[in-house]
A and B are shown apart, each in its own frame.
Chain A
Amino acid sequence: DQQVKQNSPSLSVQEGRISILNCDYTNSMFDYFLWYKKYPAEGPTFLISISSIKDKNEDGRFTVFLNKSAKHLSLHIVPSQPGDSAVYFCAASDDSGSRLTFGEGTQLTVNP
């Protein structure tokens, strides 16, 4: 069973506009959520995280929102830049260990 799901395989936005990437989870024991960015031929790189005790975390152009009741989180990128074009993975962990469970990823394309 896929405990972390990213239902949109791809997203295309114009430069300067907002990109919103979505992620849903089913395991109510998850208490930390992370976003990773992956360029072709490179490993994923950590972008931003949020604890389940918060509903928002911001870092520059990147903001992650968490809606625990809906088991949903989203990553907002404002303003989007062509260099943001990459695959974005959502990941989550629970208190049982250090492992992360990943979603399938969303390919973001930012058009100039």
Chain B
Amino acid sequence: DAMVIQNPRYQVTQFGKPVTLSCSQTLNHNVMYWYQQKSSQAPKLLFHYYDKDFNNEADTPDNFQSRRPNTSFCFLDIRSPGLGDAAMYLCATSRDRAGRLFGYTFGSGTRLTVV
């Protein structure tokens, strides 16, 4: 089945130690998104790639970066994780702007714990 896969499902990292979360998709969607969701809060868009074009949200901290080496893969890099970065990180995909009406396809998420 075509899907969005996030690895790992659970990630524990040390305060200040760089960490990378990965997302892959078999849907051949050209848009990929990274959302951060803290407990009982709305998922918050960090950035998205529209094809190779990177679109950063204005309030996304510089500590968060992303790479998309090809259509199928997208990575979220946290350069120096703080305790406040502990959250569920959700990757999603869509075809062009069709996600506005037909929704995104989400992965199962990576829960990040910072110790």
**Given A43-B90, A43-B108, A44-B90: A100 and B40 within 8 A (CB)?**
no
Residue of A nearest to B105 (CB): A46
Bound together, the chains give a CA A2 to CA B97 distance in angstroms of: 23
A97's partner among B9, B55, B102, B108 (CB-CB below 8 A) is B55
- B residues adjacent to A (C-beta < 8 A): 4, 6, 9, 31, 33, 35, 40-45, 48, 50, 55, 90, 92, 94, 96-97, 99-109
B97 x A97 contact (CB < 8 A): yes
Residues of B within 8 A of A100 (CB): 45, 99-100, 104
The count of chain A contact residues (Cβ–Cβ below 8 Å) is 26
Interface residues of A in 30-85 (CB under 8 A from B): 32, 34, 36, 41-47, 49, 51
Q: Which residues of A contact B106 (CB under 8 A)?
A: 36, 43-45
Q: How far is the CA of A42 from the CA of B90 in the complex (A)?
A: 10
Contact B103 A99 (CB under 8 A): no
B100 touches A93 (CB 8 A): yes
B48-A102 in contact (CB<8A): no
Q: How far is the CA of A110 from the CA of B105 in the complex (A)?
A: 25
Instruction: Choose among A32, A47, A105 the residue that contacts B100 (Cβ–Cβ < 8 A).
Output: A32
Q: Is A98 an interface residue (CB 8 A)?
A: yes
Contacts of B6 in A (CB 8 A): 43
Task: Give the Cβ gap from B55 to chain A, nearest Cβ, in Å.
Answer: 7
A88 at the interface (CB under 8 A from B): no
